[in-house]
Structure 1
Amino acid sequence: MGKRIKLNVKEKGVLLFEGIGTFLLFQVINVVLISSIGKNDFLSNLQVNFQIIMSDRIWIIGLILLLNLFLTYLIVISTYHQMELNQIKLVLHKTATDNLTKPVKIKVNSSLQSIIISFNLLISNMDRRAEEQRQSEESKDELISNVSHDIRTPLTSVIGYLGLIESKNYNDLGQILKYTHIAYKKSLEMQNLVNSLFEYANVQHATSRLSMTRFDMAQMLDQLSADFELEANKRGMEILVNSKPEKIIMEGDTEKLGRVFNNLIMNALKYGKGATHIWLTAEKKETEVVVTVANNGKPIPEDSLKHVFDRFYRVEDSRSKKTGGTGLGLAIAQSMVQLHGGTIAVTSNEEKTSFISHFPISES
């Protein structure tokens, strides 16, 4: 809570003088009033025996003194609170000139303490926003660094091979075609990265909107299985779909959700080394739909599991580059799931690697 504000010698003197002076002033007023009462005949007009009253005067005087003390206390406290307020102004001004870096730790009366609490809340919010801004700047710097790194390699190859053609450093048409083919493939890598970046930036944007429709999740998984069947057969894999119940009607942006599971299936095809099966399962529960994309390939190392949704993170750099990965697929999938109010997590062991998505639903 902090220490209570301490008064300086001058302020203590002012309070003492005001307290004594106020009390003495009340006594003077009392004497004048009592003298006036003794000379006035209004009591006789009210048929009150003045002698009886005067015989009990000690009690009257006691009550008057207590009233005087109470009124003096109220006046002194009011002055003390004003002094506290003046000191609060000085403390807040000093804190403000220090760039609002630390909370104010002082204790005052309850009516003024709310000002301190509100001011500290303001400082806390400003610190939090400053930290968020700092993290945002670091994130931007990291993004620029990663993009520059990932574009530099294919761009160097494109410039290099086109440079060989430009300088006529080739033997025949076959060599020219070889150079242009490599440059073309590297250009496609850059295009893939740029497209992924635009998609990631769009889904991260605060104004990103969902086009919600009612659809059958089980039917979506069946369609995805058919779309990837040929690619899976080429890699010696089989895609199996299971849904409980057979129809799962829910609301969502089918285009974005399709991209989520597209990315997860592609991830299983590219990096599920040694896998023979990919399982697409959906289960409707009371408040959510759980969708799992799993494969029985090589497990993800334990120390990599917490990073798989990070931008540009690759479990194995050489393998990712060989397969043309941008390191953004899972980050995009996570962002799209979160746009739907859901969560996505990954588990991996010798038996299965599973990406599990939870989508909240409401009964209509």
Structure 2
Amino acid sequence: MGNKLFRTIRWTFMYAFLQSLGLMVGFVIIGHLIAYILIQHTSYHGTLDWIVNHIGSTPVIAVFGCLLFLAFFFWTSRNMILYLKEIRQGLQQMAEGKLDHVIPVKAADELGEIASSINILGEQFKQLLQEERNAEKTKNDLITGVSHDLRTPLTSILGFLELIENDRYQDEVELRYFVNIAFEKSQHLKRLIDDLFEYTKLNNGMPLAMEELDIVGFTMQLAEEFVPSLEKAEMSCRIQGAEDALWIMADGDLLVRAYDNLIANAIQYGHAGKSIDIRMEKAQDEAIIQIVNYGEQIPAKDIPYIFDRFYRVDQARSAETGGTGLGLAITKSIIEAHNGLITVTSTAKETVFETRFPLAHSKT
């Protein structure tokens, strides 16, 4: 507080004023002594005597002192004026769009604070501008992805309907075949639209019905619901880890969708391993759930993009299984909406999708 009191622009001006005043007094005294010597010992005494007798020594000293004071004040305050010009030039640079320009903070007073604030403002504005550009790119990428993914099934549907419209089928069996393909493509189109609608809602801040949820019991119940799918794929599910309840704050309906995606993916892409594991544990103040499959390894180059919308590791296999490319993006949005974290690691041995949630305080 004390240092801040004395590090103000008032004290800077006061220092310049007192310094100028001291220099002025010193030079006036020296000038007075020089004038006295000149009067006593040189031929200038007549001129000086006339000035003293007709104008007076006091007015001369006053005028001389004022001129000296102004000259010294301009000189002692020059650094501050130059700094103000530097700040003004920095603002002009930023106004011209050069947001990387940084104004050096040379003082601890208000001028230094202004320079620091301008630098912070410039950095924040640069970040906002970058975020706006990223948002625009995201929007364009979304439109491109949606257009591509909508066009593909629509083209197939229209193609087969055109064949039917023009009676270009041999018999009723082929007609039913065309109708069945058009129906399957229509279902895929509906799934894509539903996923896109849900993804948009989640990323626009959809309100959550949060309540305390036992994630252990929740996951075990969800695993039981996948028994028919596991039997069909000739796979088994092993549950490992925590037996005691782990309570988190969650919207159960949304969390079902997230783990539906993770377990369905584990069955779909890990069927070669003949089993999936669900591991649950408590680590400090977090509940950790891992969905593990033993199928093909996800290439390392695909890991950073695995949760991006419309990103598919295997385009051909995704097309065969009817994936929309939004499942994992929706899952990530749901987990993060619960203040959770989702990560993936993949080796030749296993692929692990790990989710972490903060434990509910009233249950810890």
CA distance in 2: counterparts of 1:21 and 1:363, whole angstroms: 67
The reply to whether residue 181 of structure 1 matches residue 188 of structure 2 is: no
Between the aligned partners of 2:101 and 2:151, the Cα distance in structure 1 is 47
- 1:295 corresponds to: 293
Alignment of 1:13-92 (within 5 A): 23=24, 27=28, 75-76=73-74, 79-80=77-78, 83-84=81-82, 86-88=84-86, 90-92=88-90
Q: Which moved more, 1:82-91 or 1:157-166?
A: 82-91
- Conservation of the 8 A alpha-carbon contact between 2:292 and 2:350: yes
How far is 1:26 from its partner?
Answer: 8.2
User: 1:274 is paired with a residue of what secondary structure?
Assistant: helix
Instruction: Name the counterpart of 1:338.
Output: 336
- Give the C-alpha shift of residue 287 in structure 1: 0.5
Q: How far off is 1:139 after superposition?
A: 1.4
State the Cα distance separating 1:104 from its structure 2 match.
Answer: 3.8
Instruction: Name 2:157's counterpart in structure 1.
Output: 158
Residues 355 and 107 (structure 1 numbering): CA distance in 2 closer, same or farther, change over 3 Å?
Answer: closer
Tell me the equivalent position of 1:147: 146
Which residue of the partner structure matches residue 240 of structure 1?
Answer: 238
Q: Please state if 1:320 is matched with 2:304.
A: no
Say whether the 8 Å CA contact 1:193–1:326 is kept in structure 2: yes
Does structure 1 conserve the Cα–Cα contact (< 8 Å) formed by 2:214 and 2:246? yes
TM-score by length of 2: 0.76
Q: Residue in 2 aligned with 1:199?
A: 198
Match of 2:252 in 1: 254
* Structure 2 residues without counterparts, runs of 5 or longer: 1-15, 33-68
Gaps of 5+ in 1: 1-14, 32-70
In structure 1, the residue matched to 2:263 is 265
Q: How does 1:115-134 map to 2 (within 5 A)?
A: 115-134=114-133
Q: Please state how far the C-alpha of 1:140 moved relative to its aligned partner.
A: 1.4
Q: 1:108 to 1:124 in 2, by over 3 A?
A: same
Q: Which amino acid aligns with 1:23?
A: M
Counterpart residue identity of residue 152, structure 1: R
Is residue 87–residue 115 contact of structure 2 (8 Å, CA) maintained in 1? no
Instruction: Give 2:99's aligned residue.
Output: 101
CA distance 1:141–1:151, change in 2 (3 Å): same
1:106/1:268 Cα in 2 relative to 1: closer, same or farther (>3 Å)?
closer
User: What amino acid does structure 2 have at the position aligned with 1:138?
Assistant: K
Alpha carbons 1:225, 1:240 under 8 Å: kept: no
Give, in whole Å, the separation in 1 of the partners of 2:79 and 2:90.
16
The letter of the residue matching 1:363 is: H
Q: Matches of 1:295 and 1:107 in 2, distance apart? A: 56
Instruction: Look up the equivalent residue of 1:357 and give its one-letter code.
Output: T
Cα distance between partner residues in 1 of 2:353 and 2:102? 47
How far does the alpha carbon of each residue in 1:53-92 deviate from its partner, in whole angstroms, 9 at most, with x for none? xxxxxxxxxxxxxxxxxx9999457743662365246414
Specify the code of the residue in structure 1 equivalent to 2:206. Answer: S
Secondary structure of the corresponding residue to residue 262 of structure 1? helix
Other-structure match for 2:40: none
Between the aligned residues of both structures, percent identity stands at: 32
CA contact (8 A) 1:81 1:109 kept: no
Q: Pick which of 90-99 and 161-170 moved more.
A: 90-99
Cα distance change on mapping 1:231 and 1:362 into 2, 3 Å: closer
